[in-house]
């Protein structure tokens, strides 16, 4: 059985793999965001991604962790902070603030037209 830390690292690779076709140089950050790289995923210029594995069925978002992620954004950054959460049943969710979701959604609708 993998440790919680190993599960978290696996989640980072899963997220990076999902985005590889858009960002070919994407990878988990060195030290899982503990180095000079922001967030848990490096090589992406539009998102600031934090990955958390929870060894529980239910997922909650800790506001302190969210605020820390949001405060890591450089001033005037265009990056959107995203919180990726996985539970013990291997379900994965993405959380972001409504204003950021709407911004992404509206931009995608413009590109479809």
Q: Where are the domains positioned within the chain?
A: 4-112
Give 87-109 pLDDT, tens digit per residue: 999 999 999 999 999 988 998 88
Beta bridge partner(s), residue 53: 86
What percentage of residues in the chain have a pLDDT greater than 90?
54
Q: HSE on the CB side for 108, CA within 13 Å?
A: 6
Class of CATH domain 4-112: alpha beta
* Residue 60 vs residues 27, 75, 95: alpha-carbon distances, Å: 26, 28, 10
End-to-end CA, the chain: 48
Contact by Cβ (8 Å): 35, 60: no
Q: Is the pLDDT of residue 30 over 70?
A: yes
3 band by pLDDT with thresholds 50, 70 and 90 = confident
Structure tokens at 36: 């000079």
Alpha carbon distance 37, 42 (integer Å): 7
């Amino acid at each position: 059985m993998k440790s919680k830390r190993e599960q978290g690292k696996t989640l980072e690779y899963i997220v990076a793999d999902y985005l590889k076709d858009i960002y070919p140089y994407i990878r988990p950050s060195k030290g899982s965001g503990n180095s000079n790289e922001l967030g848990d995923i490096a090589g992406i210029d539009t998102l600031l991604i934090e990955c958390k594995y929870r060894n529980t069925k239910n997922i909650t978002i800790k506001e302190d962790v969210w605020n820390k992620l949001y405060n890591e954004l450089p001033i005037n950054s265009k990056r959107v902070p995203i919180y990726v959460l996985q539970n013990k049943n291997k379900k994965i969710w993405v959380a972001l603030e409504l204003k950021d979701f709407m911004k992404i959604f509206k931009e995608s609708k413009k590109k479809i037209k």
